[in-house]
Amino acid sequence: MGLSALVLGATLAVGVAARLVAHPLHTSLAAVRYDARAAEVQVSLRVFTDDFARAAGAKSVEEAGTMAYIARQFVLATTDGSRLPITWCGVRREGDLSWICLRARTPTAVHGLRLSNRLLVEHFDDQVNIVQVELDGRRTSYLFTRRDGPRTIF
């Protein structure tokens, strides 16, 4: 093996190792709560910025393609299967993380609302999406992986 091949191999190995250290696990965290006064579900979604932008086909989390990706992969639906339109309400960056604010208007009855969280599962075999739901002072946590379908969260 020539010196250039050895240097190239070492460079690739260091790059892979650095990537594994940066993201030893692939996760997202969604804090979901229902605001009865506003009749809306409020979501604070924490993602690794670089992974998420790449999955959304965008250069940054703030681009328009990000919301289209979220609408396909993070779905809130009523008991009859009707999707709730999710709207963007901002993003805050902290190092390699982004906190994305989302909202969805709800029908009068929130009970029976279902969530499907398939964020990033098409990109990472080990992706785990954690959802923490708060309703009436009670908290419940759910885990979503690539094998999981929708779940009733309220």
Check residue 111 and give its pLDDT.
86
More confident residue, 21 or 39: 39
By the 8 A CB rule, do 98 and 92 touch? yes
Amino acid at 99: W
pTM: 0.82
Amino acid at 101: C
Check residue 108 and give its pLDDT.
67
pLDDT at 71 over 60: yes
Question: What CA–CA distances, in Å, run from 7 to 4, 18, 68?
Answer: 5, 16, 41
Check residue 5 and give its pLDDT.
42
Check residue 79 and give its pLDDT.
87
Each domain of the chain, given as residue ranges in start order, spans 25-152
134 — pLDDT class (breaks 50, 70, 90): very high
Check residue 19 and give its pLDDT.
46
Check residue 62 and give its pLDDT.
86
118 — pLDDT class (breaks 50, 70, 90): very high
Give one word for 81, left, alpha or beta, with left for phi > 0 and alpha for psi -120 to 50.
Answer: left
Query: What is the rounded distance in angstroms from the CA atom of residue 14 to the CA atom of residue 31?
Result: 35
42 — pLDDT class (breaks 50, 70, 90): very high
Q: What is the pLDDT of residues 22-36, one digit of tens each?
A: 567 799 999 999 999
